[in-house]
Amino acid sequence: MFVFNLTFINSFYLWVNIGMYIFVAWKSEINHLTINCGNMKAFFEKFESLKGSSFIGIREYQNKFGKVANVNLLTNISTMNAKKKDLEKLKKVDDLSLALLVAKTGIKLEVFKVALSKMIASGEKNISSDLTEHTAQSQGQSEAYIHLAPGVKLHKDSMNVFIDGFFQSEEVLVEGEYPTVKSADKTKAKKAIGKLVELRMNDYHQYNLGNADQLIVKGTTLQIMK
């Protein structure tokens, strides 16, 4: 078992090797986590050693709603391939499928047609090799992070380290308290279509390392000390 520290301090300098240059970041009054680079060596080596898609375990992860769970994640896998396959699925949705969703949800057919067309349009933008053609949301996500290792990225503003990948399963240890959300019909229609065709990108999640207790990577347990 490797142990590394995530500690609370008022300010720090974070040095990260990125390709051919050194990135130096400074942040004041961090409320979540900072990184002791010496203790993180084993952590980065484990993720750098991943060859192709790999399963990892995130133990006792607590989200913002208070839910605590042991999560199994498939990381170091291409999101672009998932986006392309999702787009193919959306283009195969026909009027009969939409009619069945209308009967199930009570949402008007016209709303489903608009929702589907917007989902296809966004999907086509987000598979472009030109990042400037992506949706604003996709561009924002890409620009907000620096990738440190396979499946590991740093949020530029908060300086939090995240593990990302495709959700596989979870064991809920503590149920969270979720607020009631009132969504517009178009939003509901998009969710219903996504569920119908089982969009892969709906399973893509990122997890704040500071909210976990342990990581299990290639059979090695990494203990997070807070």
The tens-digit pLDDT sequence of the chain (226 residues) is 554 455 433 333 344 433 333 333 333 333 333 334 445 677 777 888 888 889 999 999 999 999 999 999 999 988 999 999 999 999 999 999 999 999 999 999 999 999 999 999 999 999 888 777 888 888 878 788 988 888 999 888 888 889 999 999 999 999 999 999 899 999 999 999 999 999 999 999 999 988 998 888 888 887 776 6
Q: How far is CA 78 from CA 45, 53, 109, 202, 203, in A?
A: 20, 8, 34, 14, 13
Say what the pLDDT of residue 103 is: 97
Say what the pLDDT of residue 40 is: 66
CB 161 within 8 A of CB 70: no
* Alpha-carbon gap, residue 29 to 23, rounded angstroms: 20
Total tally of structural domains belonging to the chain: 1
Say what the pLDDT of residue 215 is: 87
Say what the pLDDT of residue 219 is: 81
* Alpha-carbon gap, residue 199 to 192, rounded angstroms: 11
Say what the pLDDT of residue 26 is: 32
Say what the pLDDT of residue 33 is: 34
* Alpha-carbon gap, residue 163 to 136, rounded angstroms: 23
* Alpha-carbon gap, residue 127 to 124, rounded angstroms: 6
Say what the pLDDT of residue 18 is: 35
Query: Range of 191's domain?
Result: 2-225
Both tokens assigned to 32: 């979540």
* Alpha-carbon gap, residue 117 to 205, rounded angstroms: 24
Say what the pLDDT of residue 36 is: 45
pTM of the complete model: 0.78
The sign of the CA dihedral 48, 50, 55, 59 is negative
Q: Name residue 26's beta-bridge partners.
A: 13
